[in-house]
Structure 1
Amino acid sequence: MAEILSQSQIDDLLNELAGVKIDKVSSDLEDHSIKNYDFKSPKKMSREQNKALSSLTDVIGRHLAAYFAGVLRNYCEINVDSIDEHPYYEYNNSLPDVLMTAVVDIDSINGSILLDMSNSITYTLIERMLGGSVDTTIIPNREFTEIEVALMERVFKKMCMFIQEALVNLPNTNVTLRNIETSTRFIKAIRIEEVVEVIVYSVTIGSIKGTITACIPYTYVEAMIMSVVKNEDKLNNNITTDEVRNAMLEELSNSLVDVCGIIGTAKLSLKDLMNLQSGDVIKLEQKVGNPVLVTINNNKWFWGEPGVKKSSKAIRFSKYYKGGF
C-alpha cells in the first residue's frame, strides 16, 4: 500500500518548491538590467526607427572623428553613447548655463535641430586652432568671446555639411547654420513641451573627454526617417527594374524578327479573286509617292520610303507609325 503524506509533509514540500521558484526568479532578474518605464509618457520611437536613426548618427560620427583628427592633429575617437527620448524642458534643464549651441535648419523637414558641444571639447578645438596644444587646454569658467564664437562657427558649418551628406537620400535637403547660442536658457528654436530625441556622442581627444549632443524634435525625426526610407525604396526599385530590363534586352538581342514593307493594299470580291490569272493587274488603294508601311512581327511600327541600295530593294524609315500618314 502506498504511503500517504501527512499535512505537515505536504506543507514542507510546497514551501520548498516555492522557495526554489522564488530563488530562480530572483537570479533571473539579477542577470538582466532593468529600466524603469514611464507609462505616463510612452516612447514614440519604434525599434525600426531607432535602427534607422542609429545608422545616420554612425555616419555623422565617422565624419566628425576624421575632421577633428585633421584639425587637432591628434587621435580623436567619437562614438554614439546613447539615443534617448525626453521632453525638451528636461533636456534643457540638464544643460549648464554656458554652452556652445548651434541652431541648425534643415529645409526638407522645415524645422530646426540643436547641436551642443561640451565646454571641454569646445575649448580644446579653440586652443588648437589658435596654435596651442591639446594637452595644455584650460577650461575657463566664463562666457565665450566673439572670437571664440567665430572660430566655432567654422566647426559647426562643417558639421552641417556632414549632416547633409548623411541625409543624401533625403530629397531637396539643405542643412544650414542659423546661429550660435552661448546661453542655453534663451534658446527658443524648440517648444518647451516638445518631445525630442537626444543623441549623445562621446568624444575622446587625447586625455580630454567630452560630449557632442544633437537634439532633434520627434516629429522631424519621423519625417526624416520616412523620407529617407521611401527614397531608398524608390532607388532600389529603379535599380531592380533597370537590371531586369537590361538582362531581358541582352537575352533578346540575338532574336530574329520578321520585318515587312507593305507597298499597298486592295480589297477584292471573292469572284474577282477566283478569276485572277497571270498578267492581271490589281489597283492598290495607295497612291504613288505614299510611304510604305513597315511591320515587325505583324505589328505596325514605321512608315518608310522605298528605294534601292547596292542593287537591292530597300526601305528607309522616316517616322514611327501613329495611324495614317
Structure 2
Amino acid sequence: MPSNDSVDLTAGRAEPQPYDFRRPTKLAREQGRLLEMVYETVARQWATVLGSELGAACQVAFAGVEQRSYDDYVSELPSPNLLAVFQPEPHGGAAFLQIAPQIGFEAIERMLGGLGGQQPERIPTEIETQLVLRVVERLLGELRYGLAAVTELSPVLRSLEFNPQFVQVAAATDLYIVATFTISIGDFSGPASVALPATTLVMRAGDAGADDPAVREARATSRATMTQLVEDVPVEVSVRFVPRAMSTSRLMDLRVGDLVKLGHPVDRPLDLVSAGVICARGVAGAQGARAACLITDSAISATAAASVANSVLSRRASE
C-alpha cells in the first residue's frame, strides 16, 4: 500500500499539448515581446479614438498575440460577425480587423446619440454598415501608427464581411499574427482582433530588435546549436543516373530479364543526391566486392546545404 508520506510528482503540472512541427505556431521570444508592446500602444490609441468618436467612456484592453493559421483563426470566429478585410499596403496578402457585432451596434447607437444597452444579434442594414465602416476606418488608421515601430503599413479597406467562414482570401495553412483585444463602451464589452500575414510582420519584428545585443547573442547561440545538431544528423544519400522517360504501358509490361536503356552519357558524372539536392558528382567504380562512387566534384552551395538541412529537420519533426 502507498505510504501517507508519498508525494504526487505530477500534481500541479499542466497537461502536455500536441505540437505540429510542420506548422509552427510559436513566436520567437524577442518578437513576441516587441509585438506585445506595439499592440499595447494600439490598444491605448483605439481607446482614445473610440472615446472621441462615440462621446462615451471607452477602454480597450490588449489580451495577447500569437501566430496561428488562417483556418484556425477563421474557424473560431462566430457568425454573424464584423470582419473587415483590408490590404496591408505595401505588403501582399489580406489582413483582417474583427469586431463583435454587439460592439458595432453599441457604437452605432452611441454615434446617433443613444445611451447604449442590449444590442441585437443580426447583420447590420446598409445604413448601419456605413456607420460601422466609419469606426473601422478610424481604427485602421490608428493601427498604421501603432505598428510603425515594426513595419510600414497603410491599410486599404476592401470589404466588410459578416460570415467569416465564407471569406476565402488566403490558404488554410497561411500563418497570421493574431492580436486579440477586449473593447468596452460604457458598461458593454466585447472581443476584437487583428490578423496580419506573418511573413511580413514577423520578419520586420525580428529586424526591429536586431540592434539589441541580447537579441544578437541569443540568435548566435541558437544558430550555433542548430548547426551542430544538423551536422550530427545522418542523411540518406543516393547516386543517380540521368532520369529516363518511359510510357506507362512500357513500365507495366516490364518483366524479369528485360533491358532498359538508361541513356546516361559515358562521359557524364553521376549525381550524388540527398533530399532531392545534388550535393556532389562522381564516377562509378568498385571497392573490393562492393560498388562504389569516386567523388570528382564535392562543391555544394550554401543554398543546397540549407535545402538539405531543412528537409532533414522536416522529416525528423514528422516522425
Shorter-normalised TM-score: what interval? 0.5 to 0.7
Seen in structure 2, the aligned counterparts of structure 1 residues 224 and 57 have a Cα distance that, compared at 3 Å, is: same
Seen in structure 2, the aligned counterparts of structure 1 residues 86 and 169 have a Cα distance that, compared at 3 Å, is: closer
Aligned to 2:71: 89
Q: TM-score normalized by structure 2?
A: 0.59
Q: How does 1:146-225 map to 2 (within 5 A)?
A: 146-169=126-149, 173-225=153-205
- Taking the aligned partners of 1:147 and 1:213, their CA distance within structure 2 comes to 24
Percent identity, please: 23
Aligned to 1:36: 17
Aligned to 2:35: 53
- Taking the aligned partners of 1:92 and 1:72, their CA distance within structure 2 comes to 29
- How far apart are 1:33 and its partner, in Å? 5.0
Seen in structure 2, the aligned counterparts of structure 1 residues 35 and 80 have a Cα distance that, compared at 3 Å, is: farther
- Taking the aligned partners of 2:91 and 2:46, their CA distance within structure 1 comes to 23
Question: How many correspondences in the alignment?
Answer: 211
How far does the alpha carbon of each residue in 1:13-44 deviate from its partner, in whole angstroms, 9 at most, with x for none?
Answer: xx76x954x33x24xx42x6556242454434
Question: Per the alignment, in what secondary structure is the counterpart of residue 55 of structure 1?
Answer: helix
- How far apart are 1:172 and its partner, in Å? 5.2
Matched-pair contact (CA < 8 Å) for 1:109–1:223: no
Aligned to 1:247: none
Aligned to 1:101: 83
Q: How does 1:5-20 map to 2 (within 5 A)?
A: 20=6
Question: Per the alignment, in what secondary structure is the counterpart of residue 115 of structure 2?
Answer: coil
Aligned to 1:114: 96
Seen in structure 2, the aligned counterparts of structure 1 residues 107 and 228 have a Cα distance that, compared at 3 Å, is: farther
- Aligned partner of 2:111: which letter? M
Question: Per the alignment, in what secondary structure is the counterpart of residue 155 of structure 1?
Answer: helix
- How far apart are 1:208 and its partner, in Å? 0.8
Unaligned runs of 5+ in 2: 213-319
Q: How does 1:119-134 map to 2 (within 5 A)?
A: 119-134=101-116
How far does the alpha carbon of each residue in 1:268-301 deviate from its partner, in whole angstroms, 9 at most, with x for none?
Answer: xxxxxxxxxxxxxxxxxxxxxxxxxxxxxxxxxx
- Aligned partner of 2:102: which letter? S
- Aligned partner of 1:85: which letter? Q
Seen in structure 2, the aligned counterparts of structure 1 residues 161 and 196 have a Cα distance that, compared at 3 Å, is: same
Aligned to 2:246: none
Matched-pair contact (CA < 8 Å) for 2:176–2:195: yes
- Taking the aligned partners of 1:79 and 1:226, their CA distance within structure 2 comes to 25
Question: Per the alignment, in what secondary structure is the counterpart of residue 43 of structure 1?
Answer: coil
- Taking the aligned partners of 1:159 and 1:49, their CA distance within structure 2 comes to 23
Q: TM-score normalized by structure 1?
A: 0.58
- Taking the aligned partners of 1:75 and 1:37, their CA distance within structure 2 comes to 42
Question: Per the alignment, in what secondary structure is the counterpart of residue 77 of structure 2?
Answer: coil
What is the Cα-based RMSD across aligned positions, in Å?
A: 2.6
Seen in structure 2, the aligned counterparts of structure 1 residues 33 and 186 have a Cα distance that, compared at 3 Å, is: same
Runs of 4+ in 1 over 6 A off after TM superposition: none
Unaligned runs of 5+ in 1: 1-11, 234-325
- Aligned partner of 1:36: which letter? Q
Matched-pair contact (CA < 8 Å) for 1:108–1:171: no
Matched-pair contact (CA < 8 Å) for 1:127–1:133: yes
Matched-pair contact (CA < 8 Å) for 2:94–2:169: yes
- Aligned partner of 2:176: which letter? V
Matched-pair contact (CA < 8 Å) for 2:58–2:185: yes
Matched-pair contact (CA < 8 Å) for 2:45–2:142: yes
Question: Per the alignment, in what secondary structure is the counterpart of residue 162 of structure 2?
Answer: strand
- Taking the aligned partners of 2:207 and 2:75, their CA distance within structure 1 comes to 31
- Taking the aligned partners of 1:76 and 1:222, their CA distance within structure 2 comes to 30
Matched-pair contact (CA < 8 Å) for 2:97–2:194: yes
- Aligned partner of 2:170: which letter? I
- Aligned partner of 2:88: which letter? I
Seen in structure 2, the aligned counterparts of structure 1 residues 160 and 202 have a Cα distance that, compared at 3 Å, is: same
Flag the structure with larger Rg: 1
- How far apart are 1:227 and its partner, in Å? 4.9
